[in-house]
Amino acid sequence: MMRPAAFLDRDGVLNVDHGYAHRPEQLDWVAGAPEAVRLLNEAGYYVIVVTNQSGVARGYYDEGAILRFHAYMQERLGEHGARIDAFYYCPHHPRGSVKEFAVDCACRKPLPGLLAQAVGDWPVDLSRSFMIGDRDSDIAAAAAFNIPGIKFDANTQSLPALVRQEIAARDR
């Protein structure tokens, strides 16, 4: 069944961006993030994380660390009655030090490859979908995929309030 999706960047939207978070003890939720995810779940949205993780290409951590971090996020969200339907990440960076990941790719935002991959895997109603990100590259990826991109600043905005606003705008 087709459902809208909320595509969320990870670092700076769901968790505080302390730089290259990849260990469970580094998880520091943005204020209200679990509530915002739960609101999206309750409204019938797929919640799909799309995140650049160049720390892999830079040799700071491996893909297993990302998978463990995402599993931990999911576990913690469950304590709030919330869940993420899918995580998509780009491990590449053209100037990385790990050869296999030091490439130009179609999945690194601002390119829309992660969004396209998610839509290929999930029955998404793009006409009611949107992306929330804290960087211009997130908004550019959304624009390249022809969905609204909403810039979020955790220092000045409430994520639950923004999510409520975006859900209401699409329910009209």
pLDDT digits (tens, 9 = 90+) for 28-58: 999 999 999 999 999 999 999 999 999 899 9
User: Is 107 marked within a binding site?
Assistant: yes
Which string of DSSP letters, residue by residue, matches 110-128? TSSHHHHHHHHHS-B-GGG
Tens-binned pLDDT, residue by residue, of the chain (172 aa): 899 999 999 999 999 999 999 999 999 999 999 999 999 999 999 999 999 999 899 999 999 999 999 999 999 999 999 999 999 999 999 888 988 998 999 999 999 999 999 999 999 999 999 999 999 999 999 999 999 999 999 999 999 999 999 999 998 6
User: Is 22 marked within a binding site?
Assistant: no
9 a catalytic residue: yes
- What domain count does the chain have? 1
The Cα-based distances of 114 to 60, 86, 172 in angstroms read 22, 11, 28
Q: Name the strand (E) or helix (H) holding 8.
A: strand 5-8
Q: Side-chain half-sphere of 56: how many Cα atoms within 13 Å?
A: 19
11 a catalytic residue: yes
Q: What is the CATH number of the domain that holds 129?
A: 3.40.50.1000
Q: Which domain holds residue 37?
A: 5-170
Question: pTM value?
Answer: 0.96
Residue 147 is predicted with a pLDDT of 98
Cα–Cα nearest to 51, from 13, 9, 22: 9
User: Is 125 marked within a binding site?
Assistant: no
User: Is 136 marked within a binding site?
Assistant: no
Residue 1 is predicted with a pLDDT of 87
Strand order in the sheet with 149-151: 86-90, 46-52, 5-8, 130-133, 149-151
Which string of DSSP letters, residue by residue, matches 63-126? HHHHHHHHHHHHHHHHTTT---SEEEEE---TT-SSGGG-S--SSSTTSSHHHHHHHHHS-B-G
Cα–Cα nearest to 158, from 46, 61, 33, 67: 33
